[in-house]
Structure formats: C-alpha cells, structure tokens
A and B are shown apart, each in its own frame.
Chain A
Amino acid sequence: MLEPVSQPECGLVAEVVSCDVFAGRSRKEIEELEVYAGNRRRKLGDFFSVSGSAADSPEETRIVIAGSVERTKWIGRGMSAGEIVVEGSTGMYTGAWMKGGRIVVKGSVDSFAGMMMDGGELVVQGDAGDYLGCAYRGEWRGMRGGSIVVHGNAGSEAGHCLSGGRVTVKGRAESFAGVRMHSGLLVLGSAERRVGAQMTGGSIVVLAETELLPSFELIERVTSPEIEGVRFEGVFEVYAGDLAERNAKGRVYVKVE
C-alpha cells in the first residue's frame, strides 16, 4: 500500500511503481526506490508512506495507491504481471509498455495512458487524457496487445497507430480517434469528427452517429455483427477506409439503430 504524502511541483517519474519491481522487496527497500522529481533524484519514500509487504513474485503482488497522484508519471511502466489499484487519479503514461497484469484507476488518467501496450489490462473508471493507447512519439507501430477500458471520456487521438489489442471508450472520444490505426479493435461510445483518419486496417466501432471523413465509403449495413471476436447488438453501417491511404483495409462500424 502506498499512501501519497506529498506530490512535487513538477512531475514525479515513478516507473518503479510496478509489481515487477516491488516483488521480493522489503518495505524499506521499496521506500528507497529511486524516483525523479524534475531532474532531482529522490526516494519513493519521500512522496509515499509505504505499508504492507510485497509478495515474492510479481504475479502475487498487489499495489494499492490510496489516493490521487495526478503528477506521478509512468505508474506500471512495462509491468508484466500483478495488480495495481489506484484509489484516485494518475499522471501521464500510466501503464505504458505494459505486458501483462492489471491496472485499475478509480479516478482518471492523464495523457498517453497505455502507450505502446503489449498485453495486460488497463481499466480507468473516470476519463482519459489525449493519446490513450497510442504509439510513442514518431513511432508508427503502436499498441500491439492487451486491453484498455475507459468508463468515461477520452481526449484526442485515442488508439493512435493502434496495431493490435483492444481499446474501449464507453463515453465520448474527441477528434482523430484511431488515427493511423493498422489493426486491432477500437470501440467508442460516441466520437467527435475524423474517426479513423489515415487508418490502414483494424476495426473501429462507434455506438452513436458520427461524422466520417469523405475518404470513407459506405459498403454495407449489418445487424448484430461479430467484430474482431466481439458481438455488437444493433444495426450498423459499415464504412471502408481510409481510402486516402494505399491498400487501406480499415472498417468503421457506425451504429444507426
């Protein structure tokens, strides 16, 4: 259990908050873990009061952050197993490069949550910032596996360069969701304009009417389709695109009834 006692004025780089790192470490060792507040090297114990004990393996390790840590970044970076539960909200890059295990954030996550994810599960009960489940800056090969579920809304460019796995936003996603997506499944409760811009593959499901780019072509109307292994109830218009891209094989399903 990590209880936040203070947060630095600038961001706290805390990629050590991961079941892989905590496993097999004593409370004292966990307090000594290195974090960066801006460019200053500090200890995890300077910002969190640590209690409880870690298990021997990451699989059996469960980390609870008892509060909001909006300035703490990189929680669960590259984590391969175990569970992190955050009682409040987190900063940027939550669950980036995650390979396995589960992160549950009861509040909201800042931008770049689930960036380059390869496996595991990220559940956000509040909202997500921009670039949910995105590729790293400049990278064209994005998230490859695992699942992200956001119960609230998401910012711009959710599922940017998505190359596998599944991203679900139950609320509304801002512009450019699924931009440059290559494969995988992106499910949106509703979406602002320009869904799937430059997509070359994969499927986007929008559960409400939305305005698509002119480079998407209506190809059929289907009822209760199965998409990437998931069944969706209702009537959907199926669009192919983004036809502005070469050999584009993407599909956008828009729920109409």
Chain B
Amino acid sequence: MNSSLKNTLSVESHKRLLREMLFARRFEERCYEAYVERKIGGFLHLYCGEEACAHGVIEAARPGHDYIITSYRDHIHAIKSGVDPKAVMAELFAKVTGTCKGLGGSMHIFGVDHRFMGGYALVGGPFPLAAGIAKGIKMKGGDEICICFLGDAANNQGTFHESLNMAALWELPVLYVCENNLYGIGTRIDRSTAVVDQYKRVSAYNIPSRQVDGQDIDVVYDAAVDAIEHVRSGKGPYFLELMTYRYRGHSMSDSNAYREKAEERRWGERDPVIILRDRLIEAGEMTLDDYKKLDHEILEQIEDEIIRFAEESPEPPLEMLEKYVLVENDPWVRGGAG
C-alpha cells in the first residue's frame, strides 16, 4: 500500500473494510430515503463521507472490549462497534426492537453489550463522560481504553478543555478522536475557532496529538494503532485529529447552502469508499465488476433484511412511556434489602 505507513492491513481486512464502509454509505443513504418517506422522524445526522474515520479507528481498537462514545452522528460508530444494524434501523423507525426500544432515536443509539456507550445530542457532552469511563477503567485495573469521537466545533465547549486537563492530570486511558469536517452546522471552522488545527489546541495540556487524512482508511488505521498503543500502555490520553468532510447537510433540516460547490467537489473526489476500492483494484485484488456485485448485494441486504425488519417490527407499547424513568425494584429505595 503506502510505504510510509507503519501499521498495515491485510488484503482480507481491506476487502472486509470496503464492504463495511460501502455498507455504511448505503445504510445512511437509505436512512435519508426513509426520512423523506417519513419513516424516520426527529433529527437525522448522516455520516456519508466520513466512513474511514470510525472504521479506521475502531478497526485498530478492540470493539466489545474498549468503550466507545460519540455524538448524535452515531449510527456507523454503533454498527462498527458491533451493534446489529437491524436494531439501529429499527430504532430509527421508532420500533420496540430498536437498540433503545424506540425511546432514543437517531441521536441516541446505545449498545452497552458491545460497550458502545451511546450517542449524545448536546455538543461537547461526551468529553467528560469519556474521561469518567476512563477513570472507571483505571480503577478496575483492566487494559480497556475509552474512545471518544466528536466533531471539530465541539472543541469550543468548555468541557473540551476541562476534560483534557483532567485526563492529562490523572493519566486516564482515553483517546479523543476529532472528526474535523470543517463545519459546525453552517459555520465554517475559521469563523468559529481561533486555532483551526485542532491537534494544536491540546498541546497546552501536554497531550500527544496528531492530525492525519481522515479519508484514507490506511492512514487512519495506521495513526489509530499508534494512538491506541499509547493510551493502552498507560501513558495517558491521546488526541487524534482526522481531516474529513460530510457529503450531506448537517442534518436533514440543513439546506447545505453555505458550502462552496468547488469545495464539495474537491472532497467528493476524495471519497473514502472509492479510495479503498481503487486501491484494491490497482493491487489486482478486485475488479470493478466485483465491486458492483458487492454493492448490489449490500443494497439487497439492506432492503430485504434491515428495512424489512424495521418495517415489520411493532412499536413500543404505551406502558413503556413511564418505564425507565427511575430504576425499578432497587431495594435501597426502601432503605435496604430487608
């Protein structure tokens, strides 16, 4: 592949990752359609264009073992962490078979069995939660790490600085991954942020950091392996900045009118799925026809398995409304077990 990379993936891994990333793309595009068809409600934030970020980092981690937490743009992080895409789609369809029984919605996918600790809707909210999970890991003495994926604009919340300080001070095993797609809704990064290179902002806390291309999965994976090794070996937090771009509006209610067409075209030419596809084709590991076949299979799987499951699942019963407000049957509510 690229000779400057230290950590490389096998051809088999490449093929699997291509499938996963193409699946992610088609999954999100299908969500778009389902939203237009009013099968999905609320706010819907799609991940198209940013696939190599979650896939490259989580590929280098140990999903199911390491903890992962993110923002509202969370479907693909959940799926790559091991959450069943059928349950994700069912959640979006507000069905009882969804990841959160239809109570959460797109911005709140959870898969705690897979240590996917959830998507959160308040910008900057997960920074301290991730540090707290890392604190828990440290107390328990395991070799897990916590990976927190957030956007560039989130770094302007106080929680960013507060969490970095605590994570560095207490040497917490947390990897902060900044998916820098250059925008916070309609505001371009240089209009909201004094220092545009996000990795530079963490140097004040003596946290090692790096900025790499977020469109090339090999580059992301390579950087993530090193970052994760640093964190897992007990050296404290790390900050990885991935330069990326979202191919659609911020959410479904965003007109996307603020971005220049030339910029969109430029990033469109650096499509993470196509980059990996062409790499495999150039290496003689795949033909364009193979790719088309794969695409077709994925589209079929999404329609026949995933959408169908979501469509056919029942809605949550009305009694669910008041179910999870407080923990049920906690003996301490009565002052003890007796």
A and B co-occur in one complex: no
Question: Could you list which residues of chain A lie within 8 angstroms of chain B, going by C-beta atoms?
Answer: none
B→A interface (CB under 8 Å): none
